[in-house]
Chains A and B, each alone.
Chain A
């Protein structure tokens, strides 16, 4: 009985201990949850602050950039206008200067040409006169010295050619007359002449 009581007491103690431990753990869990909630709330607060600051910085930067771009565009437009004006002015100046130079050059060139052509014509007339008198002299020299020599050589050449032609004619006449005589002679006459040749050969002792 006593043992039963002691067991029961032990079990009661264990049960109490377990209950106490459970309550204690529960209490701690609640404390941890509280801390967690506090930390979470603090975290969100910090993040929200950071985000709001970031947005503000971005807005400020965007506004500043817009102002800068607007200023730059204005400056660029003005610069372009100024450059265009300067170029237009420069082109007009160059055109004006070019026209002046061209006019001056044309005048000078025309004057020079006129002068030169006058001089050339005079020189050409002089040269032609000299050439004419030179040619007359050469022709006279030719008639006096070279022409007789040329005529003499021409006569010799004609003579040589006539001799060549003469020789050629002799050959042609000879061949033609030989051919004609040969063809015009009857066979019997040919035969008789050969027999006469044989008679002559016999007399001259060809067959002895």
Chain B
């Protein structure tokens, strides 16, 4: 199946689910009287994503006036979303949108494929990430390195002072 670049629409799993739901709503209204594609896209996706989707339609030579062609393309997008691989990333900081885009771009340029991220934040990782993909888990965080460094520290010197002088019984007296 020919792949469609959907990185302009979503990066994370939650965003992909939301986008798919918006497409379903557009799909449901496509055969209603007075259907207006631009208005419907604007209502469901907002300006930026509307423009991106219209651009995508043109790139894929889909006539927006043809309801069957439009329906077929929207179906194709939804099928693509369902087949995108899921990569679970646990990182040590709160990512910005730009950071997520950078990760997504890395996959597009390096592996030539789009993925959906399931992002988790765990500050105890210190830095780096744990990655789960295709059923494999790898820990590339600095947590293990940190723990090893701390455990290899020199032991604390214990001062064991032994008392040398005890109470003398020579001076013990009772009564008057």
- The residues of A with any CB-CB pair to B shorter than 8 Å are 125, 128, 131-132, 135-136, 139-140, 143, 147, 151, 155, 158-159, 162, 165-166, 169-170, 173-175, 177-179, 181-182, 185, 187, 189-191, 193-202, 204, 206-208
Contact = CB atoms under 8 A, between A and B. Distances in A.
Contact of B140 (A159, A175, A187, A201): A201
Interface string B75-105: 0000000000101010111001001001100
Given A128-B175, A190-B127, A200-B138, 17 more contacts: A136-B169, A151-B163, A155-B160, A158-B160, A166-B156, A178-B126, A182-B127, A185-B127, A193-B129, A194-B129, A197-B140, A197-B141, A201-B138, A201-B140, A206-B133, A207-B111, A207-B133
Interface string B143-161: 1001100110101101010
A131 B91 contact: no
A147 to B, nearest CB: 7
B158 A159 contact: yes
A182 B158 CA distance: 32
B43 interface: no
Contact of B174 (A135, A151, A158, A201): A135
A195 B106 contact: yes
Nearest to A166: B156
A202 B111 CA distance: 9
A197 to B, nearest CB: 3
B17 interface: no
Nearest to A140: B169
Interface of B: 85, 87, 89, 91-93, 96, 99, 102-103, 106-107, 110-111, 123-129, 131, 133-134, 136, 138, 140-143, 146-147, 150-151, 153, 155-156, 158, 160, 162-163, 166-167, 169, 172-175
B140 to A, nearest CB: 3
Contacts of B143: 178
B103 A139 contact: no
8 contacts: A125-B175, A128-B174, A170-B153, A181-B126, A182-B123, A182-B127, A190-B93, A194-B103
Contacts of B111: 202, 207
B112 to A, nearest CB: 11
Contacts of A173: 150, 153
A159 B102 CA distance: 52
Contact of B146 (A169, A177, A187, A202): A177
A182 B169 CA distance: 61
A192 to B, nearest CB: 10
